[in-house]
A and B are shown apart, each in its own frame.
Chain A
Amino acid sequence: MPLRSAPLPRMAGHLSFMRAQTKAICDVKSGDLAVLGVPFEDTSAPYAGQSLAPRALRETSVYFGWHANPQFSHPVDIEARQDISTDGLHERLCDLGDISLGSDGEIHEALQTATSQISSQGACAIILGGSDRLAKTVQRALPDFQTAQLGGRSGDGDDFCIAPLVGKSATSQQANVAAQLAAFAQWRDETRPLFVRFDLSVFETPLSVLCDRPRLGGCDLDTVLQWLGALGRHEVSAIMLTGLNPNRPGMGVVKVGQRLMVTALLAFIYARLGFAIDRASSYNSEGKLPI
């Protein structure tokens, strides 16, 4: 069962992602969504503070912990006018805690082992970064993986780079979501593990604020929601959140980046749990194709 901490204030009580139950890694079951924090810095990053991201993401996620809050009847997505089912959320979302501090070698080994174990148990790891340099370590835990990338530094040529696309404007990306999804379906090999890199820089710069490496030509929230909802329908082995620096100089009180990432991540979580929000009607009204 989730931690029934309501009606505690959001900032009080045991902190876990969306007030999910805590679990030991050995108890993770097939189909679970297992949250894992990697609170470490990239020493080559332009600013210090990435290590604070996992905690910031957990703190803001508590706002979405209605499944653990008995005072609410049931949540409704106001845009889609659709009930958000909480079935399965209690049982399948769990928080494993953070990778412990240690030497570089110990951290990499712990992350690789944890990711490998979660994947081998048939669960999906939701990794809260932290530095995107640890993405390589996650990839090593997933033999013969494919990587889909939203934002962040360019990866390998074999990766499916969703956004930002080099040389493309945000408008053309958003208009071409349907075409990109078709291309993704062609690229995807269902026999191989799928790793999703979700970096804050996927968003257009005015929305993200706290992004360590902002890039022009990012996406709006609706586009990222479409993508994460679509990716959540695949058997994703791991998704890693990076690029958030809650401690950008003078910006420690601004919670925009973490709220943006968690809001978007919910589309992925809903889809993985099989109760994706159907935003098709609103997209159709704009001439966009539903996912």
Chain B
Amino acid sequence: MTAVITTFHPSLAQPGYRLFDGPLCDVADVGVGQIGVVGMPSDWTHSSRLGTRFGPESLRRATTLLQSARPQGVSFDPDTRHRSKPATDWLIDCGDAEITPQDVDATTQAIAAMTEGLAVAGAIPLALGGDHYNSFPACLGYSRGLAKRSSNTRFGYIQIDGHLDFSDRLGAWGSHNHATNARRISELPNLDVANMVWVGITGWVDGGDLALIEKQGGRIFSAGDVHDLGAAEVMRQALAHAMQGCDELYLSIDIDAMDAGYLPGTGSIVHSGITPRQYYDLLDGLAEAPLGGLDIVEVSPPLDPSERTEFLAAEMLFRILRRFRTRPVAEK
């Protein structure tokens, strides 16, 4: 006779990490005003140093670990100087898009389908790269979703980056790669180049690309501008320029705008002199911006044995998502 075994059933967690330890659900489960996370583990559209396909996983891990170390109840936030408590049901991780290496169209459409679904539902797609090319399909889906949700609504675009990424083509990689994403985004129907702003550009840029941007009214703030004017002022001007005649903002966060001395784990390093503090101040400047969608790209864990890159990038997400992940608490 078999003995009856009384089994202890502890509650089990989902395997693996989700961004900010949020729930893993389908795109269709994300509601209005929630952040819907889409992983884009793809790096074959980068031209030299790979590894960003591990970016989404590392961001999920780093945000979860950092979050576990933060106050779980009401606390005083030294950055805002206000009391707040963690929000609930503010983010859903929808997993990764289906990536098809060497098939740029299939990869593009798979990512875009997820961000489109989120945007149509009134959610805010947050796409995790991947190399910076993947910003284009993420924004493409957002653009399509926005058009379906509100056909006359236009959006502004801010790209924090060490590079313009405005080339029409890049050598052997053709028209769809990490140097052309902003150019492809500029061709979307509900965005004008006059509402595109770049922040943190450094070093040399292609003169033809620069002239084309400025001729069409786009605005560029260099790393030197961040040093001279201050991060807060640069972002104030950037936001004002991007939002002229627009209702929503799409933000593309390329981590490589930060100086490579601080943040080496990325494909195209630059020496911008931009410190982590300055980068976070840039993001704090968008705290109240009408975010419609965003992405964070170029986190390449294999290129940084110290792992500090993924934690610096995770902190960027803590900054830009502050108003979603916390709720203010009345002062005593």
Contact = CB atoms under 8 A, between A and B. Distances in A.
Contacts of B207: 72-76, 83
A10 B273 contact: no
B206 interface: yes
A285 B220 contact: no
Q: How large is the interface on A (under 10, 10 to 19, 20 to 34, 35 or more residues)?
A: 35 or more
A21 to B, nearest CB: 20
A106 interface: no
Interface string A170-185: 0000000000000000
Contacts of A69: 171
Contact of A71 (B171, B201, B220, B269): B171
A220 B223 CA distance: 14
Interface in B213-252: 220, 222-224, 228
B303 interface: yes
A83 B47 CA distance: 25
A250 B261 contact: no
A251 B205 contact: no
A84 B204 contact: yes
Chain A interface mostly: loop
B210 interface: yes
A260 B269 CA distance: 10
Interface in B162-208: 167, 169-172, 201-208
- Of A10, A250, A256, chain B has the most CB atoms within 10 Å of the CB of A256
B16 interface: no
Contacts, number: 100
A8 B208 contact: no
Contacts of A72: 206-208
Interface string A252-276: 0111100110010000000000000
B80 interface: no
Given A78-B220, A222-B273, A285 B208 contact: no
A143 B31 CA distance: 77
B48 interface: yes
18 contacts: A7-B172, A9-B172, A71-B171, A73-B207, A75-B207, A78-B201, A78-B205, A78-B222, A79-B224, A83-B207, A206-B262, A221-B273, A255-B264, A255-B269, A256-B261, A259-B269, A259-B271, A286-B228
Closest 7 pairs between A and B when the two form their complex, measured CB to CB = A7-B171, A73-B208, A207-B261, A74-B207, A75-B204, A79-B224, A76-B207
Interface of B: 47-49, 167, 169-172, 201-210, 220, 222-224, 228, 259-262, 264, 269-271, 273, 302-305
Given A206-B261, A251-B305, A256-B269, 12 more contacts: A8-B171, A11-B48, A72-B207, A73-B206, A75-B207, A77-B204, A79-B222, A221-B271, A253-B305, A254-B304, A254-B305, A256-B261
